[in-house]
Structures are given as structure tokens and as C-alpha cells.
Amino acid sequence: MIPWCVLALLWLSSLCPGTLSCPALCKCYPRTGEVVCEGTLSEFPSEGLPKGTTMLTIQFTNITFISEHQLNAVPLLEGLHLYGNNLQNLSSHLLRGTPRLTTLDLTGNKLSHLPKDVFSHMKLSVLVMKNNLIENADAEWFPDNSNLTWLDLSGNRLKSIPAALLQKLPHLENLDLSLNRLEKIPANSLNQLTELERLDLQDNKLTTLDASAFQRIQNLTYIFLSRNRIKLPQNIFDGLDQLKHLSLDDNQLSHIPPGLLDQLTSLEEDGLDLSVNPWLCDGKLEYLWRWLQKNKEKAYLPESLTCAGPQPLVGRSVMSLTESELNLKS
């Protein structure tokens, strides 16, 4: 006679296939196909992973490397999240055995160099590599006409981004390059990103942008340029009539070119951030001053925009100035 405890285990197994197969330091949820592993793991837990796993999270472990062979243990994988591990290298053909994978998150590892073709997986649509040690981005990472819609390279050490890389991403909707060391964006490098809605370039070392940088990406809804040192060409925002939010704070702006904001008819309430700039309150500030009078609700904390000069006006709110103080003709 089969002991009752064995029968009970068999019954549970029939209800939740895979319940009895789960690696140490992992939690398996057969009903949803999800597995979460964390702790003192030093190797990828390929032994014992349920074959039906579709979502795998491995976080805060001591794992330094994952190979294609190890990922073959979960061929139905659709999402792989590898937060806060110690990954230093990736296998050249890491994703070849996971044909259904669409989301890969490598946030908070120690990746500095990635092999060519590493993300040549055609179905990959979301790729997050934020907070690593990457110094060079390689156009050969991706296939032509990549399916990526979301690319996050923030918090790395990039000094440049190859135009050839961006030109392979025509379906991209979100591009985050913030918190890097970018000094310039090559002219025309964004032209293929016609579906782009969100562009984050804040916290870099940009000093200028090409006047035609956004000419072909008129679906842009959010642009973040905070904490750079950008001088703005006069017509750079022309055609961006869907833009809801624009951050230009902390850019050492003293004036902005006349007409710069006229095309931005869709800015939402508080959608334009011009704070923490050293505004020079002379006749060249007339355009911004008049724009603020008419569009106060679209500016973030408009009263906080203050004069850095000339001396008699230092500390005064731009909004409070009069025509005579700006030496304007009535």
C-alpha cells in the first residue's frame, strides 16, 4: 500500500506541475510560470528550473557569468530579469536558446564590455542595461531593423553613442542615455527613430545639439536635457507639436533664441522646466519674458526663474520684471 503522505505529494504535483522541482534559494510559481531566485547563489540555477518557466528573476546574487547552455534550461522564457548581481561577462550567443525572450533586464551589474551580436535575438523588444560599467556601445550588438522598442543605457560610462547603432532601431519608442558622459549626439543619428516618444539625455556633458537633431522624430512626447551645458539652436524644436514635457533645467542658459518655444503647442501644465539657469535679464530676454506672461501655467515654478545679472536685477524673478527694467521699447 502506498503511504498517504506519498499520495498527498503526488496529488499536489498533479495540481501544480513543477511544484516539487525548484532550485535552492528560488521560489517557483507554476501557475504563472514565474521563478524568483536571490541570495548567495554563485552559479545560474539551471538544475531544477521548471521547463515551463516563462518569467525568471535572479537578483542580488554572486553570479558573475551566464552562458547560452545554462539558459537552454528554460526554452520558453519570455522575460529575464537579472538585477543587482555580479555579472561581468555575457556569452556571445547568450539568447540563441530562448527564441521567445522579449524582455531582458541587466540593471546593476558589473558589465563593461559586451561581445558582438550579443543581442541579435530578433524578438527582443525591451533591453535594460542601466547602472553598469559600459564605456563603449557597439553597433554590432543589434541586428538590422531590430525589434527593440525600449533601450535603457543610463548610468554607464558612455562618452559617445554610435549613429550606426541608433540607425538599427527604427521601432524604438523609449531611449534612455542619462547619467553617462556623452559629449555630443552625432548629427542625423536620431533620424531613423521615427517612432521615438521619450528621449532622456539628462546628466551628461552635452554642450550643443545639431539644429536638425529632432527633425525626423516628431512623435516625441518627452525630452529630458537637464544638467548639461547645452546651447540651443533657434529651430531645434520645430515640428514637435506633440511634445508634452521638456526639461532644460540646470543648463547654464542665460537667454533662449526668439521663437524657440512657439512650436510647442502641446506642452502640459508644468511641462517646461527652465529652473536653475543663470538668466541675464537684458533686452535679449524679451522673448522668454513675453512667452512666460502668456504661458505661465506651462512653466514649472515660473516664479523661481531669477536674474543672475545685471547687478541691479540679481535675484529678481523674471516674471516680475517690467519693460523698462528690460530696456524694452513699448
User: Average pLDDT of 96-102?
Assistant: 94
Give per-residue pLDDT as tens, 307-328. 999 999 999 999 999 999 898 8
| Per-residue confidence band for 201, with pLDDT thresholds at 50, 70 and 90 | very high
Question: What is the pLDDT confidence band of residue 16, given thresholds at 50, 70 and 90?
Answer: very low
The answer to whether residues 161 and 177 touch, using CB atoms and an 8 Å cutoff, is yes
Strands 89-90 and 65-66, sheet pairing: parallel
Q: Distance between CA atoms of 37 and 14, rounded to whole angstroms?
A: 24
Assigned domain for 281 exists? no
For residue 55, being part of any structural domain is answered with yes
pLDDT at 20: 60
Average pLDDT over residues 83-96: 92
Residue 55 or residue 92, greater confidence: 55
| DSSP reduced 3-state for 10 | helix
pTM recorded for the entire structure: 0.91
**Per-residue model confidence (pLDDT) at position 227:** 98
pLDDT of 230: 94
Give the three-state DSSP class for 312: helix
Q: Is residue 45 part of a domain?
A: yes
Give the domain CATH number at 79: 3.80.10.10
The Cα 236–Cα 183 span in angstroms is 18
The whole domain housing 39 covers 18-133
- Other Cβ atoms less than 10 A from the Cβ of 149: the count is 18
Are 185 and 161 spatial neighbours (Cβ–Cβ below 8 Å)? yes
Give 25-31's long-range contacts (Cβ < 8 A, gap of 24+).
28/53
Please tell me the total count of domains within the chain: 1
pLDDT of residue 328: 80
Question: For all residues of the chain together, what is the average pLDDT?
Answer: 92
Strands 34-38 and 26-29: antiparallel
Mean pLDDT of 259-263: 94
Domain annotation covers residue 182? no
139 within domain boundaries: no
Domain for residue 270, yes or no?
no
Query: Within a domain: residue 92?
Result: yes
- Does 154 map to a domain? no
- In three-state secondary structure terms, 234 is coil
